[in-house]
């Protein structure tokens, strides 16, 4: 495992020597500055008016230094108004560290007279709440911007989809060519359609002037119209009920033979 990690580090250094040197220098300087600043915070905690020693003073020193680094990292990752909260936390934590270093430099300076006992008491919980708030507000604006980018971004076209689209286009072009080669039927004008719709249908049974209803029904029978057709035509033309037309047709069939004459 160690050999694998060492191999990865060597590969990373060889890939980008400038970035590797910058990371090494930043790590060394950051470690030295962290140790010096934490030592000054330990000195302030040892003041008789503060009296914070042991592991508690280490929590104050470590939490403030790490909180400042975390807030700076979150500011670098965010954009716009999302950088407000990490910026506030960064400024407050750096201000606390600077004032603690000034107080450690001279026990009788104005910085040493600040309420350090209360500050050391609230530093750990405030650091924890600040980290939680930064973590919870990380995706407040990124979700909307991400949805906006997804809605406005053009769809990705893969190679397979491009091939399918190309085949579909070729098929549509071929169908258009075939349809263009087939001769179209004769065009039907609107006047012709209007005349056809407006013209009455004279193929059905029709009554004639001066002809009684019984004679008309017998004539319809001789012309060979169907039972339902005659009954519907009689209801519409004579204004009688269906039962009346059924009786008329039945009587006409009893008195008329299929050849058109009256039965003997």
Q: What is the pLDDT along the chain (264 residues), one digit of tens a residue?
A: 666 666 777 776 777 777 778 888 888 888 888 888 888 888 888 888 888 878 888 888 888 888 888 999 999 888 888 889 999 999 999 999 899 888 888 888 888 888 888 888 888 889 999 999 998 887 765 555 555 555 555 556 555 555 565 566 556 655 555 455 545 545 445 454 444 444 444 467 887 777 888 888 888 888 888 888 888 888 888 888 888 888 888 888 888 765 444 444
- Could you say which of 107, 138, 169 is where a domain stops? 138
Q: What are residue 32's phi and psi, to 5 degrees?
A: -65, -45
Q: Could you list the residue range(s) of the whole structural domain that residue 245 is in?
A: 213-255
The three state secondary structure string of 36-92 is HHHHHHHHHHCCCCCCCCCHHHHHHHHHHHHHHHHHHHHHHHCCHHHHHHHHHHHHH
Pair 45, 118: CB distance under 8 Å: no
Locate the DSSP E strands across the chain. Answer: none
User: For the stretch 34-65, what's the b/e string if a residue is b when 16 or more beta carbons lie within 10 angstroms of its beta carbon?
Assistant: beebbebbbbbbebeebebeeeebeebbebbb
Predicted local distance difference test score (pLDDT) of residue 254: 84
Phi first, then psi, for residue 111 (nearest 5°) are -70, -30
The first and second tokens of residue 218, run together, are 């017998």
Which domain-ending residue is among 138, 171, 190? Answer: 138
Q: Does residue 165 belong to any structural domain of this protein?
A: no
Count the domains in the chain: 2
Query: What letter does residue 256 receive in the DSSP assignment?
Result: B
What span, in angstroms and rounded, lies between the C-alpha atoms of 12 and 24?
12
Radius of gyration (C-alpha) of the chain in whole angstroms = 50
262: which strand partners? 256
Q: Which of 84, 116, 138 is the last residue of a domain?
A: 138
> Which residues sit opposite 256 in a β-bridge?
262
CB 60 within 8 A of CB 52: yes
Rounded Cα distance between 130 and 236, Å, is 90
Nearest Cα neighbor of 236 from 211, 208, 206 is 206
Does some domain include residue 129?
yes
Q: Domain for residue 47, yes or no?
A: yes
Calculate helix-pair angle for 213-223, 242-255, nearest 10 degrees. Answer: 70
Structure tokens at 87: 């910026």
Distance CA 242, CA 229 (A): 12
CA 59/CA 125 separation, integer angstroms: 10
In a domain, 245, yes or no: yes
pTM: 0.47
Quote the CA–CA distance of 63 and 60 in Å, as a whole number.
5
Q: Looking at the domain assignment, is residue 76 inside a domain?
A: yes
Residue 100 is assigned to a structural domain of this protein: yes
200 located within any domain = no
Residue 217's pLDDT is: 86
Residue 122 lies in a domain: yes
């Amino acid at each position: 495992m160690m050999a694998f990690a060492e191999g990865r580090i060597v590969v990373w250094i060889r890939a980008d020597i400038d970035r590797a040197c910058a990371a090494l220098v930043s790590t060394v300087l950051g470690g030295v500055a962290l140790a010096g600043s934490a030592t000054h915070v330990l000195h302030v905690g040892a003041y008789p008016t503060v009296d914070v020693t042991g592991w508690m003073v280490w929590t104050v020193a470590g939490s403030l230094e790490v909180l400042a680094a975390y807030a700076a990292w979150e500011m670098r990752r965010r954009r716009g108004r999302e950088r407000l909260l990490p910026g506030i936390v960064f400024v407050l934590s750096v201000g606390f560290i600077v004032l603690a270093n000034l107080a450690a430099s001279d026990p009788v300076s104005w910085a040493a007279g600040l309420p350090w006992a209360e500050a050391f008491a609230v530093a750990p919980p405030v650091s924890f709440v600040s980290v939680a708030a930064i973590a919870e507000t990380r995706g407040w604006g990124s979700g909307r911007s991400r949805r906006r980018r997804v809605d406005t971004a053009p769809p990705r076209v893969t190679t397979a989809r491009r091939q399918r689209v190309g085949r579909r286009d070729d098929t549509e072009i071929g169908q258009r060519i075939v349809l263009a080669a087939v001769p179209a039927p004769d065009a039907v004008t609107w006047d012709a359609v209007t005349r056809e719709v407006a013209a009455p249908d004279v193929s059905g049974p029709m009554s004639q002037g001066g002809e009684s209803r019984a004679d008309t029904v017998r004539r319809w029978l001789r012309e060979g119209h169907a039972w339902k057709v005659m009954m519907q035509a009689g209801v519409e033309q004579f204004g009688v009920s269906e039962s009346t037309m059924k009786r008329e047709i039945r009587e006409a069939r009893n008195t008329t033979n299929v050849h058109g004459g009256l039965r003997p």
